Amino acid sequence: MKIDVKKISVDLGIKLGLLLFLSNTVFYVVDIELFLNWKISLIFLFIVIGSGIYSILNSRKKLGGYISWSDAFVSYMACTAVGMLIATLVQIFIFVILDPGAAEQLNEMSMIMAKEMYTGMNLSEEVIQQALIEMEKNPSLSLRNLTLSFAVGLGIQTIFGSINALIFKRSNSEIA
């Protein structure tokens, strides 16, 4: 019986997506400012990468201890892509459909944070104002930018997936 790496990985991706779904929901209900916390974003980046690595290792185990680079890459990407897609759909639902006011509130908060950061970098007031105008015209939680963020995230995960597939592949000729 042939082992379907994609099915194993998609199942793990759904679990990752449920974790990200619950996290987004908790952030929205408890404190919307958690969406702007870079430390939390970094933690979730590591969770997504860790889930992809776990997917590779799980697939390798189910394949008898050996996995090709392409199967490892597919395993990583299927898991992370499904999880990130679920998270993006949840954010679209929350910020575009359910509560666009929350998206506006977060955009205003991020503009304040950006202004403080730019001021700390001693940028001219003119440059700061231009950046804030651009942020106001192009809110980060719009449908367009959430979709773009998903696409960029997939691109970044492709790089991590390639590297991890290379690290964790194991061919029959290697001794474990």
DSSP letter, residue 33: G
Q: pTM of this prediction?
A: 0.90
pLDDT digits (tens, 9 = 90+) for 25-79: 999 999 999 999 999 999 999 999 999 999 999 999 999 999 999 999 999 999 9
Contact 47, 12 (CB under 8 A): no
Banded pLDDT at 2 (limits 50, 70, 90): confident
Distance CA 31, CA 168 (A): 38
Question: What are the backbone dihedrals phi and psi of residue 170, each rounded to the nearest 5 degrees, phi first?
Answer: -150, 120
| Choice among 19-23, 132-136, 142-146, 161-165 with the minimum mean pLDDT | 132-136
pLDDT digits (tens, 9 = 90+) for 84-124: 999 999 999 999 999 999 999 999 999 999 889 888 898 88
Distance CA 75, CA 13 (A): 10
